[in-house]
Every structure is written in structure tokens, then in C-alpha cells.
Amino acid sequence: MELCGVELGGPVLNASGTFDAIAARRAFGDALLERFPFDAFVSKTVTLGPRQGNPPPRLWETPAGMINSIGLPNKGMEGFLVNDLPELARLGVPLVVSVMGFDHDELAALVEGVGAREEVAMLELNVSCPNVESGVLVGADPAETAAAVGAVRGRTTKPLVVKLSPSSVDPAAVAVAAQEAGADALSLINTLKGMALHPQTRRPWLGGETGGASGPAVRAVALEQVTAVAERTTIPIVGMGGIASGRDAADFLAAGADVVAVGTESFRDPGAGRRIAAELAALGATGRVRTPEAVR
Amino acid sequence: MELCGVELGGPVLNASGTFDAIAARRAFGDALLERFPFDAFVSKTVTLGPRQGNPPPRLWETPAGMINSIGLPNKGMEGFLVNDLPELARLGVPLVVSVMGFDHDELAALVEGVGAREEVAMLELNVSCPNVESGVLVGADPAETAAAVGAVRGRTTKPLVVKLSPSSVDPAAVAVAAQEAGADALSLINTLKGMALHPQTRRPWLGGETGGASGPAVRAVALEQVTAVAERTTIPIVGMGGIASGRDAADFLAAGADVVAVGTESFRDPGAGRRIAAELAALGATGRVRTPEAVR
Amino acid sequence: MSVPMAEPHRTLAPPERRVAEVRGARRLGAYDLITARDPVGPPDPRPGQFYMLAAGDGWGGGTGERPFLPRAFSHAAARPHPGGGAELDFLLEDVGPGTHRLGEMGAGEALMLLGPLGAGFRPPVQGTRPLLVGGGVGVAPLLCLHRELGADDQVLLGFRSGAHAAAAELFGDGARVVTEDGSAGSMGLVTEPLAAELDGDPAATVFSCGPPAMLEAVRALCAQRGVECQLALESGMACGFGACFGCVVETVAGYERVCVDGPVFAGSQLARVV
Amino acid sequence: MSVPMAEPHRTLAPPERRVAEVRGARRLGAYDLITARDPVGPPDPRPGQFYMLAAGDGWGGGTGERPFLPRAFSHAAARPHPGGGAELDFLLEDVGPGTHRLGEMGAGEALMLLGPLGAGFRPPVQGTRPLLVGGGVGVAPLLCLHRELGADDQVLLGFRSGAHAAAAELFGDGARVVTEDGSAGSMGLVTEPLAAELDGDPAATVFSCGPPAMLEAVRALCAQRGVECQLALESGMACGFGACFGCVVETVAGYERVCVDGPVFAGSQLARVV
Ligand SMILES: Cc1cc2nc3c(=O)[nH]c(=O)nc-3n(C[C@H](O)[C@H](O)[C@H](O)COP(=O)(O)OP(=O)(O)OC[C@H]3O[C@@H](n4cnc5c(N)ncnc54)[C@H](O)[C@@H]3O)c2cc1C
Ligand SMILES: Cc1cc2nc3c(=O)[nH]c(=O)nc-3n(C[C@H](O)[C@H](O)[C@H](O)COP(=O)(O)OP(=O)(O)OC[C@H]3O[C@@H](n4cnc5c(N)ncnc54)[C@H](O)[C@@H]3O)c2cc1C
Ligand SMILES: Cc1cc2nc3c(=O)[nH]c(=O)nc-3n(C[C@H](O)[C@H](O)[C@H](O)COP(=O)(O)O)c2cc1C
Ligand SMILES: Cc1cc2nc3c(=O)[nH]c(=O)nc-3n(C[C@H](O)[C@H](O)[C@H](O)COP(=O)(O)O)c2cc1C
Ligand code: FES
Ligand code: FES
């Protein structure tokens, strides 16, 4: 099968920020490569400059899920391209690099810099960030999203996946705007905004005060948004949000996703991606891949 | 304690649509009145005309929660005022009547008709419905919400609680708009939009195709929205979403709610409201009641 | 509140969930039969009423995720307990995560319980003989009805196979058994002996519980013959006491809640059982 | 991928969760000691490494809701198993829903297990004697380190009370015990005999695990005296293998992940233990 012209061995990816293949290699050695759990590897979101991320605690366990306030720690584009990308290129699966810029110039520099590297098969734009000028959450607003996609579309010939924010009144409208601005595929959902209080002090528990909710608890919300987006767009969809079994994955494919991504479930079991792919195959479901309207 | 000038025996209400005191009376008899689980009773949402609601199935169980597509079945305002209100008036706790109108005229008729009844202590406006003309979800939009509140504010002297929709980019902005348009209190969150597929056919399971997610799975999202709304408004807040224990209730009070409402947890135990109130008292937490800026 | 109309077929429940204790559990062919001590509930739930049950521990979570909500079960028998409350028998068929967990419970475990709920079977029409028609695990509420009616009734039970027909032993000798595969009793569907019975003597009131297709066949058979029937329906439930409006079934008067308006409905209330 | 630098203190783990079987469980004073058969994992995890554990059944759900994620535990002992894999001992303190559920597990139950993970203790600095300093349930990773070092080490263990000090029996006679309330060993904090030891002879490498306040005191004591120390830290974890970036601790080089960059850190990497 293929996604935006990129050959895939199967329909199960990891969700950005939920699997660090380099760290996992340290823990699991070569066995990780022999039994790599995903059909493509999506990097944690890379920003232009390096980021430390939020202060701990960064995790809170919820009923059937969790909230994180990790805060996008990463080495910045240079550090990523120099140190990490050569390592990731040896995984043996196509690489998708997730990028986030805090303005269009940053985003353009990222797309151009990352897109120029031959190891990179696709780029994912994480638009779940505020516009630094307007304060509007880019991914929640059709016009802002279209502007961001438009600003970078010309900077690479590689497929661009736009990762939608779930905190929008109408995610399908944002999706349509992204498609019209030149996105090759869409991925959703990102985490829902959530919060937890310290059991004793009742002050915010997370170092980032608020965080993002993920896991089985958000699955029904994700499935609804994937359905709504699939009804109004024609480009491929990477569906995610609480997928923990082949049956869940089959639901997302039936709702209109072409491939799925596994996030939180990998925390409970690093082999979850392979297990889910096997369960999906046993159900007779395979990923559908729609051809993007225009392949650039 | 009091809420918008209405005396309450404690800070635990039911969430609209999650407790039918008349049906419960048939099942539990007088013991229900002797051990009534809530400090005020909020009716299921009443519309101007009667509604059958959505076809079954209307329920889907999710990890740590559920989705419903009940579809607001109700007798309509006349049926409610004639048949149900006299029964509810005998519960011995203040009554809050939830109303929804599909345009401003309907809403105004509801607020006037219901507000005129002396049995009614407060009204709750359920604005989680589309504007029939623009298609915009009223409660997701500050201007639409302000217009709806403005259209009915003059129709009653009773306190108006506006129940916010969680499907907004910025619930606090909607809350501010509601307050400025004359709301006396705010309640949140309503259910999140969600969906489930039939395990065999993979067609939408719910008769209404999509539904609303509730229960512990949405608690973290609810707590974040209550916090955000409390930071930007001054009128009282009825906090709800996944509350299942006194500890959860204490979190919502700490986040800025003045009282809490229990929904889905009552399905697992009709006595949940009393249990939660007792647990809350044992934690030493009580509802805070802020005085509305202007009591009308 | 005004006193509601007396409802003889509806025994009232305490208005909160309570912890019952599992007293015994045994396998009965394809089913599980569990006995629980309800510490404070009424000793006399009506046949056809039901309880919402959940395991105190191990109810959902983990990789199985569900159940989250309690599940509805008709009591198959209820005995007053000398120490107060009642001892209740439930017959369970493992069809999913909830029934699976309940079926594996053992003596001493905590069972969360609410009930009795709903409206049970009403008395037979004067001058008619009661005819009990059960299918599969739907025989459960007919067992206590059978015991209450004494020897005056006739019992027709249909099962998929002999393993399921093991539940018929609870009814003693009087019950006629048919199985779909002929591995116990005669081969066929329970509606066949029912039709023969009614054709022989239509002065009957039919009480029935079982899978929807069977109930629909029973309803149609009785309707054709002008025989009154009372059908105990099932429906996915969240609460069991009328709070959620989730369990509705289409009746001739519109949607009604199976949990408060039923679960027992007169055949004449239903255009079709689906 | 390029072969990573050989890391002698890090035994590799199979890259997926597996089902281990609980072989035995016993109460040890205030703690639970459970033994599990890991069917396919390495027989030689390094002292200071850890496993992510979850119960196969009854992990979350119900009214307790949590846990959802697995929990981190250092093995207190590991024995190669003749049939392959390893037999692992874990010492557990019940501090919340996860440790509570694990502590009530009995023989035959399924334990979901991933590991060994993280980097364990490194060898002592040449020419120094190993000094093991444990506090509370933090004695667990020191037990296997103690056994590996043979009789060459000195062991200092601090506990809240005599019930907790029961864990000292695992170390045999050699360990010096202090308790906060004096109900076992001498009264005081474990840092007091540590300071005396180091003042007597600073040619030591300190290996320590215990509550943050104790680790910070150990770090400061060692730093003042120029003594190398290795501290096994704890942190809330979601994954245990570097995937979530949730378990970070502040080091002199910025935030580092306890699960892959630790859990054992050199005292010099930390400005403070919080
Ligand atoms: C009044 C009444 C009395 C009853 N008496 C008995 C009795 O005496 N004995 C007995 O064995 N049973 C009885 N039942 C049926 C019993 O309640 C159900 O079998 C039980 O609820 C099934 O729960 P489960 O978790 O085992 O299976 P589930 O999987 O919950 O139920 C199976 C059904 O639910 C659907 N389903 C699957 N996933 C979901 C989901 N996530 N959300 C919602 N639905 C889903 C399936 O498609 C299937 O239709 C009675 C039901 C009622 C209403
Ligand atoms: C490398 C390592 C090795 C360890 N080795 C051992 C060992 O050998 N033996 C042992 O007993 N323990 C060990 N621990 C500690 C053990 O992992 C914790 O005690 C365990 O995770 C606690 O889980 P719990 O569910 O019992 O309690 P929890 O309630 O999860 O943990 C208690 C802590 O979490 C906080 N908390 C409460 N609610 C939440 C929530 N919803 N989300 C997030 N945090 C919350 C509490 O405030 C408290 O700080 C080790 C930890 C690490 C990192
Ligand atoms: C700890 C954690 C870190 C994440 N980091 C990122 C990130 O860097 N970039 C991104 O686009 N999404 C990130 N996400 C969101 C996931 O990619 C995914 O959209 C979300 O978790 C829903 O899927 P899940 O329920 O399967 O986890 C992160 C999620 C988690 C839980
Ligand atoms: C079955 C069901 C029916 C509901 N009906 C209504 C309704 O009629 N009007 C309304 O404003 N909210 C309705 N709600 C939303 C609840 O009032 C509440 O906002 C939501 O369920 C979150 O709270 P919870 O998680 O405690 O259930 C309904 C919720 C459920 C689960
Ligand atoms: S199950 Fe809730 S109304 Fe019937
Ligand atoms: S626990 Fe996930 S990175 Fe350490």
C-alpha cells in the first residue's frame, strides 16, 4: 500500500511524540529493528530552535487515558538533522518528520530544511500552536491553517500532512481549508485540552498547568472528527486517538481513515503497533489509500 | 448556601437530562424524597413543541464513559408545565428548568412561559444547538450566544444559567459573552461530540449517528474548561463533567465552580449525588458561591 | 410529590446502589447461576422485574476497557432472608464483558446491586390459563413466575442446544423443551408447540421472554388468535430507573422506556418486536 | 541504525510487553514481596534497572478508575530460570492504586511485564569500597547489587519503623539498620552512619536509592567530601523506554529522562534531588 505515493508495508504508524526510536533502540537493541512496530516512523515535533519542554510533573493518569504537558522538548532543527535523522534513516521504514513553527518564517525554514533531506519521506505540520500575533490557535481556524499551509507549500515537493487540532468548532472546515491550501494528507486528532489538580494542594498538577488528553478516553471524540473530516475532504487521512486494538483501528479505517497511528497505547506496550496490525489483519481489514487529488 | 439568590441545602445538583425524578419516584417510592440525592433539581431540557427523540440505539459504552444520542425527547413546554412541573414542585428542592429553542422566538416563549411559573427557581438555557439559519452551533460562538441570551433576558426576572457547549475553540470567550448579555450563572460542560461504530457492520451504532460523550473520560477536559471560564468571568459556575466522587467535586470547586452537577455517575448509582456530597463534606470542601454582579 | 398510582406488579427499590455478597455460583449447562444476598432490598420483587448488577472489583479497566455501566438481569428466584433483605438467583449467559465478569464471580465477592426495577408480569386474564414461553436465558424471569403461579401453568421452553436446555431442569418436570438442534427435547422452535397449544385451546394468557425474533413470533401468533400476551423485553440500558432515556423501544404510543414502562409490555402495545 | 555504544550497565529488553506469571507472594513487614516468572526476558538484568508492571486483570476500571498505565519497579533479585527467562523478585510498598493491586496478586495470576529498562549501577571507582545506602522500599535495587558485589560492600539501611525494617532481613546479617522511631536498629536517619563512615574513610563509592529527601542528603554529603555517588531516582512514568518524555528530572545538563538516561545518575549530574 502507499500513502501520498510513499510505499508502506502496512497501515499502522506511530503518533508523533509517542515513540522515540533512538531511545527505544538503547533499551531494546537490534530486536527493535527486527520487530519494528510501525510501518512508517513519525518523529516527535521538531521546532526551529531547541526547546527544553515544560517543567515536571509532565504526566497525569486519567480514567482510561492520560494528560501530558511535555511541551515539545527537542534539539531544534539543526540538532535533529545532524544527530537524529541519520539514526532514524536506518530504521528501514519511511520517515515522517513533524514540524511546528511559531510564525510562517519559522515554519518555512523548517519545511525547507527538513524537506531537503533525502531521508525524509513526508512532513507533518503540527498546527496546534497559537499564532504569536493574533493569539488564535492556528489549527482551530480555517483561515489561519490555510495561511500556514500556503506559506510553506512551495518550500518542498514532499508530501505535506497537516495535523489538525481537535479544539475547533468544525474540524472539517479546517480540513477543507488545509486541503485547498495544498495539504497532501490530514492527520487527526491531536490531544484534547485537559487539566488535573494536585490531590493535596489542588493547584494545577502539571508543570505546564494544562495539558493534552489522550488514550482510549478520547477515542469516541476522535472517531467522530475523522468521520466528519473524511466526509468533506478527498486527500488521505491518518486517523488516531485512543487506538488500542485492531478493532479500534478497523473503526477508524471504516470511518474514512486511510492509515492509523498509535500513540498512548505504545506507552503501555512498545509492541502495540505490531499487535494492532496483526489484529487488524485478522479482522480482514486493510488500510484504504485514496490517491491525493494532485501529487506534487 | 445560595446560588444566584436561591437557597440551596448543599452544592450538589444533577446534570440536566440525567435524572428523571418522576420516573425515579415510580421505582423508588417515597424513599426517593426522603433521601433525595440533589440539592436542586434540574429538569431534562424542555423544547417548545414535544419531541420523540432519536431512534434507538441511543447508548454506547466507552472506556470510562458513554455516548448518548437521546435527542431531547420531551413533552414540550405545555406538557411539561401541565403534567410534570406540579410533580417536581413536590421534591422539596429548588427547581431549575432547562430549555432549548431553535430560534430566538421559541427561546423567548419558553423563557417567558416557564419563568412565569412560581414553582421554577431558575432557568437554564441549553445553547448546544445549531442556529437554524446560519447552521452555526450557538453555544460555540460568542456572538450567537450573546444574541440568544439578549433575546430572552427581558422575558423573566428569574436567574438565567447559560449551559455552555464544550465544542468551542475558546469556551471562556463564549462565557464572557453570555455574562455580558445578562446571564446570571454559567454551567459546563455539556457532552463532547463523539461517535461509535457497530462492531459487525461498522456503520454508525447510534440512531442519531453521532452522540455526546460523558462520564469520567471527559473529566480532565471539563476541569480545564471550568478553570478557563472561572478566570474570565465573575458570575457563579455550575461545574460538571465526569464527577464521580467527592474528590472530583472538590477539584471542580477548586477550579472555580460554585456548585457541581452529577450526570453519568447517577446512572451507575441513583444515590451518587448524596454519596458525593458526603465525601465532599468529609474532605472539608464546601461550595463557594460568588454573588452575581447584578441580581435581577 | 403525589402518591403514584398503586402498581402491584412493581415492588419498590431502595434509591441507591448497595453491596450484595455473592453466596454461590455454579455452572448450569451453557449458563452461570449465581446467588447473591441482597442485604436491604425487598424480599418480594415481582417476576419480570430486574436488577442492575456490576462486580465490585474488576469491572472494566485494563485492556478489556469495558464494562463501565451496570448490566440488567431479571432475578430467576427470590427468597426472603431471615436476617433481612433477600437471597436472589440470577441466570447469566456470557455474551460480552459484563456477563463474562459476573459469570466468573465466586462466593464472598462484592456485587453492586440496584433494584428491583421496572414493572413485572401482571396476573393472567381472568378465566385463562397461563402459558409461559421462554427462549434461552430468557427463561430466567419465567422461573419465578412459574413458582408463583403454582402448578396451574404450562411451560414451553426453547433452547439452541442441549447445553442450553440444562436450564430447563430449574422448572422441574412440568416444562416442555424444544431445541433447535434436537439435542434435548423435541427438535424445532418453541413457537411450534405454542401454536399447537393455542389452536387447541385459545383461553390462555401468554407470558414470554427470550430473543427478539422469538418474542416477535410469539406476539404475532397471539395477535392473530386474539390471545393476550405479556412480553418481557430487553434493551441496552445505562441506568435502569428511567433517568437516561436510553433504553427506549418503539410502541404504538411512541418510544417508551423499557426500564420504567417495561420491561414487561402487553403484545398489543407493540407493532413489532425488533 | 548504528550500533549504540556498548552499555555494560544496561541489559537489553525484548521490545514488547509480555505475560509473566506470579509464582509467589508474601508479606514482608510493611511490604509485599512478589516473585514472577519472566518467560523470555534476559536472565541478567543489571542492579538498578527496572521493569514496568501491570496486573493482567483488574488493572483500573470500576469505581477506582486508575491505574491505566503500568508502574515502574526495580527488581530486588533476578535468577536465571532453567526453562529460559528469569525469575524476578519485586519489593512493593502500597502507596496507591497500582502498588495496591500488584501487592494483592497471588500465585498463578498474570503479570504484564516489560524490561529490564534503564541504566543500572556502574562499578565502583577503582580503589574505593562500595557503600550501599538504602531508604524504605528503595532498598530493593540495592539487594541485587549487594549480592553481586559479594562481601566487599557495606550496607546502611534506613526505615520509618520496625515494620518497614523487616526488609533488612533480605540482606542477611551484614546490614546496619536505623529507624526513625528507633523500633529497630538504632534511632535516626541513615545519613548519620553514612557521614560517620565517610569521615572515617572517604575512599568509597556510594550507591543509593530511597526517598528524594534522603537522596538529596546523600548527594550533598558525598559532594562535600568529594565522594562519588550513584543515585537511583524515581519519577512518574508513562512508558519506561524513553517514548513519552514524561519522566524528566532536572540535571546540570538540562532535563533528562529518568527511564533511559537513568534511573541511576551520578551525584555530580544533579544540582539537587527534588
Ligand atoms: C430487563 C432485562 C433483563 C435481563 N435479564 C437477563 C438475565 O436474566 N440473564 C442474562 O444473561 N441476561 C439478561 N439480560 C441481558 C443482559 O443485560 C445483557 O446480556 C448484558 O447487558 C450484556 O452485557 P455484556 O457486557 O455481557 O455484553 P455487551 O457487549 O455489553 O452486550 C452485547 C450487546 O451490546 C452491543 N455492544 C457491543 N459493544 C457495545 C458498547 N460499547 N456499547 C453498547 N453496546 C455494545 C453488542 O453489539 C451486543 O448487542 C437482561 C436485559 C434486560 C434489559
Ligand atoms: C525506576 C523506578 C523504580 C521503582 N522501584 C520501586 C520498587 O522497587 N518498589 C516500589 O514499591 N516502588 C518502586 N518505584 C515506585 C513505584 O513506581 C510507585 O510507587 C508507583 O508507580 C506508584 O503507583 P500507585 O498507583 O501505587 O500510586 P500513585 O497514586 O500512582 O502514585 C503516587 C504518586 O502519584 C501521584 N498521583 C496521584 N494521582 C495521580 C494521577 N492521576 N496521575 C499521576 N500521578 C498521580 C501522587 O500524588 C503520588 O505522588 C519505582 C519507581 C521508579 C521510577
Ligand atoms: C506524551 C505525548 C506527547 C505527544 N507529543 C506530540 C508531538 O510532539 N507532536 C504532535 O503532533 N503530537 C503529539 N502528541 C499527540 C499524539 O501524536 C496523538 O495525536 C494523540 O496522543 C492522540 O493519540 P493517542 O490517543 O493514540 O495517544 C503527543 C501525545 C502524547 C501522549
Ligand atoms: C443520557 C444523557 C442525557 C443528557 N441530556 C441532556 C439534556 O437534556 N440537556 C442538557 O443540557 N444536557 C444533557 N446532558 C448533558 C449532561 O447534563 C452533562 O452536561 C454531561 O453529561 C456531562 O456530565 P457527566 O459527565 O457527569 O455526565 C445529557 C447527558 C447524558 C449522558
Ligand atoms: S436505562 Fe436509563 S432510562 Fe431506561
Ligand atoms: S517514562 Fe516515558 S520517557 Fe521516561
pLDDT tens figures, C18-33: 999 999 999 999 999 9
Residue of B nearest to D65 (CA): B64
Distances (CA, A) of A37 to A97, A122, A270, D42: 17, 19, 7, 21
The number of the ligand 2 atom at minimal distance from the alpha carbon of D76 is 8
Q: Report which bound ligand comes closest to the CA of C262.
A: 1
**Residues whose CB is less than 8 angstroms from the CB of residue B289 and which lie 6 or more positions away in sequence, other chains included:** B1, B2, B3, B236, B258, B259
Chain A residues with CB inside 8 Å of C66's CB?
none
Q: What subunits touch chain A, counting only 3 or more CB pairs under 8 A? A: B, C, D
- Which of A85-94, A132-141, B50-59, D234-243 has the least mean pLDDT? A132-141
Q: What angle do CA D193, D197, D201 make, to 5 degrees?
A: 170
Ligand 4 binding pocket, CB closer than 6 Å: B 15-18, 44-45, 68, 70, 72, 98, 126, 163, 190-191, 214-215, 218, 240-243, 262-265; C 244, 246
CB C40 within 8 A of CB C20: no
Instruction: Give tens-digit pLDDT for B114-153.
Output: 999 999 999 999 998 776 667 778 999 999 999 999 999 9
Measured in whole angstroms, how far is the alpha carbon of residue B221 from the centre of its chain?
16
Chain D residues with CB inside 8 Å of A58's CB?
245-248
Alpha-carbon span B124 to B29, nearest angstrom: 28
Reported as a pLDDT band with limits 50, 70 and 90, residue B212 is very high
DSSP 3-state of C248: strand
Chain D residues with CB inside 8 Å of B216's CB?
65
> Is A129 assigned a catalytic role?
yes
DSSP 3-state of D89: strand
Distance B266 CA to ligand 4 centre (A): 11
D56 near C CB under 8 A: yes
Chain B residues with CB inside 8 Å of C260's CB?
23, 26-27
Residue D104 dihedral angles phi and psi, to the nearest 5°: -95, 5
- Residue D22's DSSP bridge partners are D36
C192 near B CB under 8 A: no
Q: Over 90: is that where the pLDDT of B113 sits? A: yes
Residue A73 half-sphere exposure toward CB, CA atoms < 13 A: 23
**Residues whose CB is less than 8 angstroms from the CB of residue A174 and which lie 6 or more positions away in sequence, other chains included:** A139, A140, A141, A142, A145, A164, A165, A168
Are A202 and B63 within 8 A, CB to CB? no
Chain B residues with CB inside 8 Å of A63's CB?
63-65, 215-217, 219, 242
Q: Report which bound ligand comes closest to the CA of A239.
A: 3
Alpha-carbon span D274 to D258, nearest angstrom: 13
Mutation test of ligand 2: which of D51, D91, D95, D100 has the most ligand atoms closer than 8 Å to its C-beta? D95
pLDDT of B284 reads 86
Instruction: Give tens-digit pLDDT for C50-108.
Output: 999 999 988 887 777 889 999 999 999 999 999 999 999 999 999 999 999 999 999 99
- Identify the residue among C12, C245, C250, C274 best suited for mutation to test binding to B, counting B beta carbons within 10 A and taking the highest: C245
Alpha-carbon span D221 to D195, nearest angstrom: 7
What would the mean pLDDT of D15-44 be, rounded to a whole number?
96
D27 near A CB under 8 A: no
What element of type H or E holds D200?
A: helix D191-200
Location of C-alpha cell 446560588: B3
Alpha-carbon span C261 to C119, nearest angstrom: 7
Q: Over 60: is that where the pLDDT of D2 sits? A: no
Percent of chain C at pLDDT exceeding 70: 98
Are B195 and A168 within 8 A, CB to CB? no
Are D62 and C62 within 8 A, CB to CB? no
Are B194 and A169 within 8 A, CB to CB? no
Report the gap between the CA of B120 and the closest CA in chain C (Å).
15
Alpha-carbon span D103 to D94, nearest angstrom: 7
Q: Is the CB–ligand 3 distance for residue A98 below 6 Å? A: yes
pLDDT of A28 reads 96
C126 near A CB under 8 A: no
b/e code A171-197 from CB counts within 10 Å (16+ = b): bbbbbbbbbebbbbbbbbbbbbbbbbb
Q: Cell digits for D122?
A: 556502574
Alpha-carbon span A32 to A30, nearest angstrom: 5
- Rounded to whole angstroms, the maximal C-alpha distance in chain D is 56
Distance A111 CA to ligand 6 centre (A): 28
Other Cβ atoms less than 10 A from the Cβ of B28: the count is 23
Catalytic residue among A6, A67, A97, A129: A129
Question: What is this model's ipTM?
Answer: 0.94
Beta strands B120-126 and B95-99, pairing class: parallel
Instruction: Give tens-digit pLDDT for D176-210.
Output: 999 999 999 999 999 999 999 999 999 999 999 99
Are C65 and B63 within 8 A, CB to CB? yes
Q: How many CB pairs under 8 A join B and D?
A: 6
CB B256 within 8 A of CB B232: no
Distance D71 CA to ligand 2 centre (A): 7
Q: What is the pTM of this model?
A: 0.95
Distance C181 CA to ligand 1 centre (A): 25
Alpha-carbon span B125 to B101, nearest angstrom: 9
Other Cβ atoms less than 10 A from the Cβ of B49: the count is 12
D46 near A CB under 8 A: no
Are B268 and C54 within 8 A, CB to CB? yes
Report the gap between the CA of B210 and the closest CA in chain A (Å).
7
DSSP 3-state of D146: helix
Catalytic residue among B3, B67, B129, B230: B129
Q: Over 60: is that where the pLDDT of A65 sits? A: yes
Reported as a pLDDT band with limits 50, 70 and 90, residue C174 is confident
Report the gap between the CA of B42 and the closest CA in chain A (Å).
26
Alpha-carbon span B58 to C238, nearest angstrom: 10
B168 near A CB under 8 A: yes
Beta strands B6-7 and B2-3, pairing class: antiparallel
Report the gap between the CA of A255 and the closest CA in chain B (Å).
8
Cis-peptide into B237, omega within 30 deg: no
pLDDT of B131 reads 67
Instruction: Give tens-digit pLDDT for D173-182.
Output: 889 999 999 9
User: Which comes out higher in pLDDT, residue A295 or B260?
Assistant: B260
Query: What residue type is A85 in one-letter code?
Result: L
**Residues whose CB is less than 8 angstroms from the CB of residue D32 and which lie 6 or more positions away in sequence, other chains included:** D25, D26, D91, D92, D93, D94, D102, D103
pLDDT of C150 reads 84
Residue of A nearest to D52 (CA): A268
CB C155 within 8 A of CB C132: yes
DSSP string for residues in chain B: -EETTEE-SSSEEEPTTS--HHHHHHHHTTHHHHT---SSEEPPPB-SS-B--PPSP-EEEETTEEEE-----B-HHHHIIIIIHHHHGGGSS-EEEEE--SSHHHHHHHHHHHHT-TTEEEEEEE--SB-TTT--BGGG-HHHHHHHHHHHHTT-SS-EEEE--S-SS-HHHHHHHHHHTT-SEEEE--PEEEE-B-TTT-SB-STTSEEEEESGGGHHHHHHHHHHHHHH--S-EEEESS--SHHHHHHHHHHT-SEEEE-HHHHH-TTHHHHHHHHHHHTT-----PPPSS--
Q: Over 70: is that where the pLDDT of B290 sits? A: no
User: Which comes out higher in pLDDT, residue C125 or C8?
Assistant: C125
B60 near A CB under 8 A: yes
Instruction: Give tens-digit pLDDT for D62-120.
Output: 777 889 999 999 999 999 999 999 999 999 999 999 999 999 999 999 999 999 999 99
Distances (CA, A) of B161 to A43, B102, B280, D94, D131: 46, 18, 24, 44, 66
Q: What subunits touch chain D, counting only 3 or more CB pairs under 8 A? A: A, B, C
Distance A14 CA to ligand 3 centre (A): 9
Nearest to C113 by CA among D58, A84, D273, B268: B268
CB D235 within 8 A of CB D222: no
Reported as a pLDDT band with limits 50, 70 and 90, residue D50 is very high
Q: Over 60: is that where the pLDDT of A67 sits? A: yes
Q: Over 60: is that where the pLDDT of B192 sits? A: yes
pLDDT of B161 reads 98
A219 near D CB under 8 A: no
The number of the ligand 1 atom at minimal distance from the alpha carbon of C140 is 8
Distance D31 CA to ligand 5 centre (A): 45
Q: Over 70: is that where the pLDDT of C4 sits? A: no
CB C226 within 8 A of CB C256: no
Q: Cell digits for B117?
A: 411559573
DSSP 3-state of D224: helix
pLDDT of A292 reads 37
Are C1 and B91 within 8 A, CB to CB? yes
Q: Over 50: is that where the pLDDT of C167 sits? A: yes
Alpha-carbon span C104 to C113, nearest angstrom: 16
- A 201-260 → B contacts, CB under 8 A: 202, 210, 213, 215-221, 223-225, 227, 242, 247, 250-251, 254-255
C254 near B CB under 8 A: yes
The number of the ligand 6 atom at minimal distance from the alpha carbon of A23 is 3
CB C52 within 8 A of CB C235: no
Q: Over 80: is that where the pLDDT of B79 sits? A: yes
Alpha-carbon span A235 to A87, nearest angstrom: 30
Measured in whole angstroms, how far is the alpha carbon of residue A212 from the centre of its chain?
13
- First CA to last CA distance, chain C: 36
What would the mean pLDDT of B90-102 be, rounded to a whole number?
97
Q: Cell digits for D95?
A: 502507596
Are B64 and D65 within 8 A, CB to CB? yes
Mean pLDDT of chain B: 94
Are D57 and C55 within 8 A, CB to CB? no
Report the gap between the CA of D2 and the closest CA in chain B (Å).
41
Q: Over 70: is that where the pLDDT of A87 sits? A: yes
- First CA to last CA distance, chain D: 36
Task: Name which of D54, D55, D62 is nearest C60 (Cβ-Cβ).
Answer: D62
What would the mean pLDDT of A265-279 be, rounded to a whole number?
97
Instruction: Give tens-digit pLDDT for D109-167.
Output: 999 999 999 999 999 999 999 999 999 999 999 999 999 998 788 999 999 999 999 99
pLDDT of A294 reads 32
Nearest residue CA, atom 23 of ligand 3?
A241
Location of C-alpha cell 509492541: A271
pLDDT of D3 reads 52
DSSP 3-state of C239: coil
